[in-house]
Structure 1
Amino acid sequence: MTVGRAAALVGLSPKAVRLYEHRGLLPTAERTESGYRLFTADDLDVLHFIRQAKALDLTLDEIKDVLDLQRGGEQTCARVTSLLDEHLAGIDRKLADLRRLRRALSAARRAADTAQREGCNAVVCRIIAHTPTDTEIGPRGCS
């Protein structure tokens, strides 16, 4: 089948399929006499795997690593599990960073409210220049 048909069957764009072939995730496709790529049912299985792995936020390099292991006859579950663990740890770090950012934004907002109640209307720059930490919350006077 052609690249357009293969892409449609798997839910990808033809451009993505060409990229995956170019990056070595797919074996080089056979071509017709007129130069059209021809894909097999095995290629569709690989494309489906790539699509699923991308949905789990694996990078193309990570996916290629897993496919290369599989093509070499090795079991890939341990590698996939390791990759998923790495991604989970990254998400946990991002969540912690977002929680810290939220606390800093909330503290800055509280400081702005306090300053406004004290008659300081133009305090945005001061708030950004010195965002209070969780322990510094409280009136600071106008400056």
Structure 2
Amino acid sequence: MTVGNVTIGEAARRSGVSARMVRHYEGLGLLPAVARTESGYRQYGEADIHTLRFIKRSRDLGFSMEEIAELVGLWNNRRRTSSSVKRIAEKHLGELEQRIADMQSMRNTLAHLVHCCHGDARPDCPILDDLAN
């Protein structure tokens, strides 16, 4: 579908991000400066909305704003190498895997503590004992 120039609200709706985030991304330089009407209203075109969707999908995958800035730059650079993109994605994947491992360890520890706690009227509690160490 071809999109003519639309307001920030319509660009937000079509891209799935809030108008506040559209302004934020523009302020960070992730979007090029957009056209404005004579009265100063921002006007977004099809390419802007596509970029906003790209940013949203990147955020959904947990990329940092710094990584997204790099990815947008690579996406817009027709002379990029896919190895540059893969390097960013591999680094992020490794970070996600480490966070998952850390969370699984926390889960296992907490599950063990919950299992050990009687949860009765006595004051003894292995959960509190562990937290106090």
Question: Which protein, 1 or 2, shows the higher relative CO under an 8 Å CA cutoff with sep ≥ 6?
Answer: 2
Over 3 Å counting, the alpha-carbon distance change for 1:80 and 1:4 in structure 2 is: same
- The Cα RMSD (Å) is 2.5
CA contact (8 A) 1:7 1:13 kept: yes
Task: Render the CA deviation track for 1:7-66: whole Å, top value 9, x for unaligned.
Answer: 122222111111111110000111111001111221122112112111211122211112
TM-score normalised by length of structure 1: 0.71
CA distance in 1, matches of 2:57, 2:94: 20
Gaps of at least 5 residues in structure 2 are: 1-5
Gaps of at least 5 residues in structure 1 are: 132-143
CA contact (8 A) 2:74 2:85 kept: no
Aligned to 1:121: 122
Task: Render the CA deviation track for 1:62-114: whole Å, top value 9, x for unaligned.
Answer: 1111222343443263333223222322222222222322332243344434x
CA distance in 2, matches of 1:4, 1:123: 56
Aligned to 1:138: none
Over 3 Å counting, the alpha-carbon distance change for 1:127 and 1:69 in structure 2 is: closer
Over the matched positions of the two proteins, sequence identity in percent amounts to 30
CA distance in 1, matches of 2:49, 2:129: 55
Over 3 Å counting, the alpha-carbon distance change for 1:37 and 1:91 in structure 2 is: same
Provide the aligned length of Structure 1 versus Structure 2.
125
Counterpart among 9, 14, 19 of residue 14 in structure 2 = 9
Is 1:89 the counterpart of 2:90? The answer is: no
